[in-house]
Structure 1
Amino acid sequence: MASTAQAADQPPAVETPPVGVMKKLLLQDTTPYEVAVGAVPTTILMPFPIDGMDGNGITTQAHTVAPVFLQHEQGTRFFSVKALLPGTADLNVIIGERVYSFRFYYSENPTRTLSISEPKKGSSIAQARRISVTPKRLHDILNDAKTYFVIKKQHPELQRSIEVAAPGKVIEYPGYRVVIDQVFRFDRDDTLVFRAIFINDSDEPLHYKPQEVGLRVGRNIYWPSFAQLPGEIPARNPARVTWELSPEIETVAITDPEGRTAEVKTKKGALLSQTGRYKIVASTAKRRTDTLYFSINYPVSADEPNPLVVSKGDRDFGIRKLTVTQPEAGQNIGYITYTGTSDGRRADISIDNDFLLVVDARKEVSQ
Structure 2
Amino acid sequence: MEIRSALILLCVFVTSVWADTRPDFRAIKQFPLDDRTVYTILISRDEPTTIMFPSALTALEGAGITTDPEASAPVFLNYTKGRYYFSVRALQEAATGHLNVIWNKHTYVLTFQTDPHPFNAVTFYQLTDPRPELGQREGVGPTKLLGLLDRAKAYHLIQGQYPEALPQIDTAQPHRRMLYKDFEVEIAEVFRFDPEDTLIFKLLLYNTSDKEICYLPQTLAVRVGTNVYYTSLPDASGVLPPGRIDPKTQKIEPSVSLAYFAVTGSPDGGRNNLAVDNPFNVIVTRAPSPVTLDAATK
| TM-score between the two structures when normalised by the length of structure 1 | 0.43
Name the amino acid aligned to 1:353.
N
1:296 to 2:249 alignment: yes
1:297 is displaced (CA, Å) by 3.7
CA distance in 2, matches of 1:220, 1:27: 21
1:334 is displaced (CA, Å) by 0.8
Q: Against the structure 1 CA distance between its residues 27 and 205, is the aligned structure 2 distance closer, same or farther, given a 3 Å change threshold? A: closer
1:329 to 2:258 alignment: no
CA RMSD of aligned residues (A): 3.1
CA distance in 1, matches of 2:130, 2:176: 31
Name the amino acid aligned to 2:235.
Q
Aligned to 2:193: 186
CA distance in 2, matches of 1:27, 1:343: 18
Among residues 192, 195, 205, which one is paired with 1:198 in the alignment?
A: 205
Aligned to 1:175: 182
**Counterparts in 2 of 1:39-50, with a 5 A limit?**
none
1:138 is displaced (CA, Å) by 0.4
CA distance in 1, matches of 2:266, 2:181: 30
Q: Against the structure 1 CA distance between its residues 363 and 119, is the aligned structure 2 distance closer, same or farther, given a 3 Å change threshold? A: same
In terms of mean alpha carbon deviation, does 187-196 or 152-161 score higher?
Answer: 152-161
SS in 2 for 1:129: helix
Q: Against the structure 1 CA distance between its residues 127 and 355, is the aligned structure 2 distance closer, same or farther, given a 3 Å change threshold? A: farther
CA distance in 1, matches of 2:228, 2:32: 29
- Structure 2 unaligned runs (5+)? 1-30, 34-53, 55-122
SS in 1 for 2:160: helix
CA distance in 2, matches of 1:230, 1:185: 23
Aligned to 2:160: 153
1:345 to 2:298 alignment: no
Deviations 1:327-351 (A, max 9, x none): 4211210100000023432111111
8 A Cα contact 2:158 2:166, kept in partner: no
CA distance in 1, matches of 2:271, 2:283: 21
| TM-score between the two structures when normalised by the length of structure 2 | 0.52
- Structure 1 unaligned runs (5+)? 1-25, 29-46, 48-115, 240-271, 273-294, 299-326
Name the amino acid aligned to 1:334.
A
Among residues 235, 254, 257, which one is paired with 2:242 in the alignment?
A: 235
Q: Against the structure 1 CA distance between its residues 117 and 197, is the aligned structure 2 distance closer, same or farther, given a 3 Å change threshold? A: same
Which one has the bigger helix percentage? Answer: 2
Segments of 4+ moved more than 4 angstroms: 125-128
Q: Percent identity?
A: 31
How many pairs were matched up?
Answer: 173
**Counterparts in 2 of 1:211-230, with a 5 A limit?**
211-230=218-237
Structure (1 or 2) with the larger CA radius of gyration: 1
Q: Against the structure 1 CA distance between its residues 341 and 236, is the aligned structure 2 distance closer, same or farther, given a 3 Å change threshold? A: same
1:126 is displaced (CA, Å) by 10
